[in-house]
């Protein structure tokens, strides 16, 4: 808590690339939502000056502004991680992963993504078709949202926490309902996305999922555009999300809405 303001100032230098880490730093000292671990941040100092930040929990996140010296200062703490998820700029994650592999960690998931952003001036609107409704998620949507969250994890090849703790997983999804937007077709939910970070510097979309039987119907374009519209009405500088490299349908979708890449990320789930 003592260095929180300094951490926020440090991360704001590259706010777009550090949006999630900014949100984690902002939450220091606050009670975490159900299903979210208490954040733990560490800093690299040059004398009394903070020159870089990293989150150790709930996920490993590395300040995009970290230089070689700053990362070297943090490395002894970072390489102690026994398991978890790291998601940050590719060059930083690749250097960390070399050290973690030497310590016997193994990757359960290892992929590259493009972080993409859209601004109010570049967002391209989409008109809904007959029978399609875009709305905020409601508590009665929870069973569908739990299903989507599990299906999304399976598609990514990630472990399903629901198998070991169904009540805990349900509580985690429920804690995010207020940040979810859904699209329905003839009353049936076919798309969901979460605005997990909502800051003036930008909004971050995560958990974007379309039911397989309703894909290529334009639901995702409508849902993502609606979340972005909400971000800009709230005064956000931009909206961003990450696209897995090689997922050409998703890349075309987001490019068609006005999103443009700004950072290459690497995500590793390890044990």
Here the CATH number for the domain that contains residue 208 is 3.40.630.30
115 domain-assigned: no
pLDDT given at position 156:
87
End-of-domain residue from the set 70, 88, 105: 105
The torsion angles phi and psi of 249, rounded to 5 degrees, stand at -60, -40
37 pLDDT exceeds 70? no
- Tokens for 9? 């100032």
Whether residues 177 and 238 share a domain: the answer is yes
26 pLDDT exceeds 70? yes
155 domain-assigned: yes
Whether residues 153 and 251 share a domain: the answer is yes
Section 195-211 average pLDDT: 98
pLDDT given at position 129:
83
Other Cβ atoms within 10 Å of 48 Cβ, number: 6
Whether residues 71 and 139 share a domain: the answer is no
168 pLDDT exceeds 90? yes
pLDDT > 70: what percent of the chain? Answer: 97
Number of structural domains the chain divides into = 2
79 pLDDT exceeds 80? yes
pLDDT given at position 1:
54
**98-147 pLDDT tens trace:** 999 999 999 999 999 999 999 999 999 878 888 999 999 999 999 999 99
Look up the domain containing 188 and give its range. 132-264
Give 89's pLDDT tier (boundaries 50, 70, 90): very high
245 pLDDT exceeds 90? yes
119 domain-assigned: no
123 domain-assigned: no
- pTM for this structure? 0.94
Whether residues 137 and 56 share a domain: the answer is no
- Beta strand extents in the chain (DSSP E only): 40-46, 49-57, 61-62, 84-89, 107-118, 132-136, 180-185, 188-199, 202-210, 239-244, 260-270
């Amino acid at each position: 808590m003592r260095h929180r303001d300094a951490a926020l100032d440090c991360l704001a230098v590259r706010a777009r690339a550090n949006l999630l880490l900014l949100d984690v730093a902002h939450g220091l000292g606050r009670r975490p939502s159900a299903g979210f671990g208490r954040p733990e941040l560490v800093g690299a100092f040059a004398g009394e000056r903070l020159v870089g930040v990293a989150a150790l929990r709930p996920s490993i996140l590395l300040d995009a502004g970290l230089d070689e010296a700053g990362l070297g200062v943090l490395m002894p703490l970072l390489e102690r991680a026994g398991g978890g998820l790291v998601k940050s700029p590719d060059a930083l994650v690749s250097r960390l992963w070399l050290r973690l592999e030497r310590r016997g960690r193994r990757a359960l998931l290892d992929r590259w993504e493009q972080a993409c952003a859209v601004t109010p001036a570049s967002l391209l609107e989409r008109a809904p078709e007959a029978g399609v409704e875009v709305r905020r998620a409601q508590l009665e949507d929870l069973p569908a949202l739990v299903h989507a969250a599990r299906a999304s994890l399976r598609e990514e090849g990630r472990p399903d926490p629901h198998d070991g703790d169904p009540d805990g997983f349900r509580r985690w999804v429920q804690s995010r309902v207020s940040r979810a937007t859904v699209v329905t077709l003839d009353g049936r939910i076919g798309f969901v996305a979460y605005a997990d970070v909502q800051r003036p510097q930008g909004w971050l979309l995560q958990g974007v999922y379309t039911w397989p039987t309703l894909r290529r119907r334009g639901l995702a374009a409508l849902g993502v555009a609606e979340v972005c519209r909400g971000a800009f009405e709230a005064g956000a500088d931009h909206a961003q999300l990450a696209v897995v490299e090689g997922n050409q349908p998703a890349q075309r979708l987001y490019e068609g809405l006005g999103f443009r890449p700004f950072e290459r990320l690497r995500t590793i789930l390890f044990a």
